[in-house]
Amino acid sequence: MTAMATLAAKLRTTLEMIKFEHSVFALPFALTGALLAARHGPAGAGWPTWPQVGWIVVAMVGARSAAMTMNRIADLEYDRRNPRTAGRPLVTGALSLRFAWVFTLVSAAVLVAAAWELNRLAFALSPVALALLFAYSYTKRFTSYSHLVLGFCLGIGPGAAWIAIAGSLDWRMLVLCAAVTLWVAGFDVLYALQDIEFDRKAGLHSIPQRFGAAGALWISRGMHLGVILLLGWVAWSFGLAWPAWAGVGAVAALLFYEQSLVAPNDLSRLNAAFFTTNGFVSILFFLSWGTALWIAR
């Protein structure tokens, strides 16, 4: 196998390891933040340029790739002991730790470079974003609320995109960031249900490990109720047209469906709840809010 073919194979394995296709979860929320900044920011009544959109996408992909690979590096010893994760490439040796570190650093550099291309404030804040993304991987060692830290890592996306377009931050975007934070934390609590016993044995912390499966489900439901309330507030505060409210309704219906798929004693449909439903949530949200901003031009 040639050097290029070997590199391509390693990159493919890395992208599979970090579930690269799941970048769709947070990206639509960030792009919505960019649209809101262009229409309601300091300049007002405009649209993001294609270069701005492109650099935001590059920054988001770089950030998520760096964060996910760092998470796999940090959790390597736990992944070796957990039957659910024993097949991951770093555990099996299909991917070397050295390559994972290089990929992480390159992805981080991509984020910083993209932020540089956007504006001065975005560039200045990029190391802060990276510090937060890398710190998340260690929070489950000392707090049950690491789900909220993960949620915040993705939740800052809309605010970061606003900064990328406007060079400043509107406080209303903090509410949208909170909504995304609760959305991600809520479905991460569901995902953590499958590791309750392992977490207890390994000394790791999570909401399911602390409150049990039934308690964790109610906490997840409360988080997702908060998402709907916060999205409604943001739509009202910006005076968005009816498609945005239709989008809030669609998100509510999807989150209700997601919650209905999981029971304390039945996790058989967890993948459908976690992967499929959440992809529809973010895409429908972007399409509905983007339409609302378009018809109000």
Ordered by start, the domain boundaries in the chain are 19-295
Instruction: Note the pLDDT of residue 89.
Output: 92
d(CA 105, CA 31): 25
- The two tokens of residue 16 are 């599979």
> What is the percent of the chain where pLDDT is above 70?
96
Minimum mean pLDDT range among 40-44, 102-106, 187-191, 207-211: 40-44
CA atoms within 13 A on the CB side of 291: 12
Average pLDDT over residues 213-238: 97
pLDDT tier at 269, thresholds 50, 70, 90: confident
The answer, yes or no, to whether residue 45 has pLDDT greater than 70, is no
Instruction: Note the pLDDT of residue 16.
Output: 80
Architecture (CATH level 2) of domain 19-295 = Orthogonal Bundle (1.10)
Instruction: Note the pLDDT of residue 296.
Output: 75
Instruction: Note the pLDDT of residue 141.
Output: 95
Average pLDDT over residues 24-35: 90
Supply φ then ψ for residue 263, to 5 degrees. -130, 155
d(CA 92, CA 241): 51
d(CA 229, CA 223): 10
CB atoms within 10 A of CB 120: 10
d(CA 30, CA 16): 23
Per-residue pLDDT tens over the stretch 81-92: 999 999 999 999
> If you search the block for the tokens 């390693």, which residue do you land on?
10
CA 91-94-95 angle, 5° bins: 80
Average pLDDT over residues 29-43: 91
49-65 b/e with 16+ CB inside 10 Å = b? Answer: eeebbebbbbbbbbbbb
The answer, yes or no, to whether residue 74 has pLDDT greater than 90, is yes
Instruction: Note the pLDDT of residue 20.
Output: 67
Task: Write down the pTM of the prediction.
Answer: 0.94
CA nearest neighbour of 238 among 171, 152, 286: 171
The answer, yes or no, to whether residue 1 has pLDDT greater than 60, is no
CA atoms within 13 A on the CB side of 148: 7
Q: In this structure, what DSSP letter does residue 171 have?
A: T
Q: In this structure, what DSSP letter does residue 88 have?
A: S
Instruction: Note the pLDDT of residue 267.
Output: 79
Average pLDDT over residues 14-22: 72
Indicate the average pLDDT of the chain: 92
> What is the percent of the chain where pLDDT is above 90?
80
pLDDT tier at 5, thresholds 50, 70, 90: confident
Average pLDDT over residues 38-43: 86
pLDDT tier at 11, thresholds 50, 70, 90: confident
- The two tokens of residue 151 are 């949620």
Q: In this structure, what DSSP letter does residue 193 have?
A: G
d(CA 117, CA 222): 39
Q: Is the four-CA dihedral 57, 242, 224, 21 of positive or negative sign?
A: negative
Average pLDDT over residues 271-294: 88
CA nearest neighbour of 147 among 220, 80, 85, 228: 220
